[in-house]
Amino acid sequence: MSSVRVRIAPSPTGPTHVGTAYQALFDRLFADKFGGRFILRIEDTDQDRSRREYETQLMDSLKWIGIDWDEGPDVGGDYGPYRQSERLEIYREHAKILVDSGHAYYCFCSSDRLAEMRADQERNKKPLGYDRRCRNLSPSEVDQRLQQGEDYVIRLKMPKEGVCEIEDKLRGKIEFDYAQSDDQVILKSDGFPTYHLAVVVDDFHMKISHVIRGEEWITSTPKHLVLYDSFGWEPPEFIHLPLLLNRDGTKMSKRRNPTSIEYYRRAGYSADALLNYLALMAYPPLNDEEKVSLAEFVQDFDIRKINLGGSIFDMDKLTWLNGRYLREDRTPQQILGEMKEWLVNDEQFLGIVSLLHERMETLGDFMPKAAFFFAREVNPSEQDLLPKNREAGEVSQMLQTAIWALDSTANWDAQGIESKVRFVADFWDWPVREVTVPLTVALTGSKVGPPLFETIILLGIDIVRMRLINGIEALGGLSKKKAKKLEKEWKKV
């Protein structure tokens, strides 16, 4: 089966999610098993949220964990460009083809009209969705409105009734009622495609044989099948992988667990151990052995062995496995080499020395004062986290707002961070010190640390987020209900 071609299509809108590496891993396994090719395609059609630095980070993180690709924006290939923002003309042409063949239509409904329609549907408890007002406009009216330069989107005509059958290679037949489907927008008013059009056009033109993606995309598949059918194309095979889960069984989210590859790398996990652990999320151990190399997985790989339950991402188990890799597979010399690549190098040391410079009397002061920088966790005490007269509940909530504030900091420099910290203090109407002290304790484990804003820069958002979450836990945690309520208030400001 040499024509196997698989892909991942990540959106560069944030740090690289472990779920992306998990999918990439199964693509790689599948491609290698069948002598096929694995393609990296960047889905950067969300103009507001896509950023080139996230794309660079994504490629860097995938390479670090040990996954490479045969075609992609950096290595090229016969089916490029591999960045969707460079394929806009292709999508526009294809949207037009569908309009001309009667499978799609121009929709001129304004956002005001759509909002009114939705409000009306909600009021009358009718099913939500586009009411298809523009589906049957006469060709002359459409021409006239286009000539007048009215804004439009292009919508796909979904069947109004009947059943869509998806054949998933892992799950068998899955049925969807067309009656519940909406006439999906496929080309937006800014001329950019939506995910559905772009993914189908690209998968077809890039000759993708198997679409391997997360379970959360199953409900999009009927729309994709209608698109394939409308173009008269043969669809690929679909394989929907089980989701990675938080301990409580919900979809893995950064509220509970660190979700970015960059976190695990910065916290000192090893790439081979993390990759091994990700494989175990959907694949059984080999002969009862959980420590399995990529090459061994490739050799054994059989798609029927993938378990569908969804897997709990358990940091303790990952840490245990990581320990085995260090103990069983490395000499001290190799560990030292790995540590140098990690943080034990001149560049990192210089950054920390600059921070501690003013606080050192002898060179011997450096290591104890810098320890928090390298530690996996810092274990702050509840007592240290609480400014006088403040209660655990309110400090937890304050730390949660600090996470949100820092998460949305575009300028990761002292000024940008300072303004966010002040913003948090204003939000609570607390003296700035009552914000900076708990932050310092949560991030360094102690009340006296180097300058806070520079410390935050050096630790990086991934470590900062996790340590603040741990700080909240040390204070007894924050209930889902409280967090929701708080988020509402936070969003208002």
- The CA-to-CA distance between both ends of the chain, in Å, stands at 56
List binders of ligand GLU among 4-43 (CB under 6 A): 9-11, 43
Distance CA 180, CA 177 (A): 6
58 near ligand GLU, rule: CB under 6 A = no
Of 8 and 321, the one with the shorter C-beta distance to ligand GLU is 8
The residue type at 42:
I
CB of 311 to ligand GLU, least distance (A): 18
SS (H, E, C) 162-186: CEEEEEECCCEEEEEEHHHCCCCEE
CB of 212 to ligand GLU, least distance (A): 8
Task: Look up tokens 């491609």; give the residue.
Answer: 31
Catalytic residue among 223, 254, 369, 420: 254
List binders of ligand GLU among 230-289 (CB under 6 A): none
List binders of ligand GLU among 173-232 (CB under 6 A): 199, 213, 217
Which has the closest alpha carbon to 428: 453, 391, 477, 454? 391
Of 28 and 213, the one with the shorter C-beta distance to ligand GLU is 213
CB of 464 to ligand GLU, least distance (A): 25
Distance CA 330, CA 340 (A): 14
Distance CA 444, CA 439 (A): 8
Distance CA 77, CA 15 (A): 26
Radius of gyration of the chain (CA): 26
Which has the closest alpha carbon to 483: 386, 396, 385, 420? 396
CB of 118 to ligand GLU, least distance (A): 26
CB of 459 to ligand GLU, least distance (A): 27
Which has the closest alpha carbon to 176: 225, 130, 238? 225
CB of 220 to ligand GLU, least distance (A): 7
Of 213 and 265, the one with the shorter C-beta distance to ligand GLU is 213
Of 198 and 406, the one with the shorter C-beta distance to ligand GLU is 198
- DSSP 3-state of 435: helix
Of 199 and 459, the one with the shorter C-beta distance to ligand GLU is 199
Of 196 and 467, the one with the shorter C-beta distance to ligand GLU is 196
Of 70 and 394, the one with the shorter C-beta distance to ligand GLU is 70
On the 0-12 / 13-18 / 19+ scale of CB atoms within 10 A, 212 is: buried
254 is a catalytic site residue: yes
Of 199 and 443, the one with the shorter C-beta distance to ligand GLU is 199
CB of 374 to ligand GLU, least distance (A): 33
Within 74-180, residue ranges assigned H as helices are: 88-100, 111-123, 139-147
- # residues contacting ligand GLU (CB under 6 A): 7
Q: How far is CA 492 from the centre of its chain?
A: 25
Distance CA 150, CA 451 (A): 55
- DSSP 3-state of 256: coil
CB of 6 to ligand GLU, least distance (A): 10
> What angle, rounded to 10 degrees, do the helices at 195-205 and 221-231 form?
60
CB of 37 to ligand GLU, least distance (A): 16
Please give the residue whose beta carbon sits closest to ligand GLU in the complex: 213
What is the x/- site pattern for ligand GLU, positions 120-139, by CB under 6 A? --------------------
Distance CA 29, CA 266 (A): 26
The residue type at 133:
R
Which residues, listed in sequence order, are joined to residue 311 by a DSSP beta bridge? 244
Of 241 and 452, the one with the shorter C-beta distance to ligand GLU is 241
Which residues, listed in sequence order, are joined to residue 39 by a DSSP beta bridge? 7, 71
Distance CA 85, CA 289 (A): 44
Max Cα-Cα span within the chain:
84
DSSP label of 408: T
Asked if 42 contacts 84 with a C-beta cutoff of 8 angstroms, the reply is yes
Q: Which residues here bind ligand GLU, judged by CB under 6 A?
A: 9-11, 43, 199, 213, 217
Catalytic residues: 254
